[in-house]
């Protein structure tokens, strides 16, 4: 079975996701901010639930203009 998980960077570059964002009139930067906010919230909830110290490990790769 193939792994279907995507990094945030891959999500932001995916042509189907970009097409849906255009159709919904959502900018790429707005969507990137939403992904980042959601990832941070999930990380904080996981750390709290498991009694772990909150260590920021989220790295958002923004697509460069040359790609």
Out of 3-7, 21-25, 42-46, 62-66, pick the least confident: 62-66
Question: Does residue 1 or residue 59 have the better pLDDT?
Answer: 59
- The mean pLDDT of 44-61, rounded to a whole number, is 71
Q: Give the number of other CB atoms < 10 A from CB of residue 12.
A: 20
Radius of gyration of the chain (CA): 14
pLDDT above 70: percentage of residues in the chain: 72
67 vs 56: CA distance, rounded Å: 27
Q: Is the pLDDT of residue 26 over 50?
A: yes
């Amino acid at each position: 079975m193939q792994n279907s998980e995507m990094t945030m960077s891959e999500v932001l570059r995916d042509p189907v996701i970009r097409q849906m964002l255009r159709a919904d009139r959502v900018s790429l930067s707005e969507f990137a901010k939403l992904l980042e906010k959601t990832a941070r919230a999930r990380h904080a909830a996981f750390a709290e639930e498991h009694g772990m110290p909150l260590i920021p490990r989220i790295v958002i790769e923004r697509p460069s203009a040359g790609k």
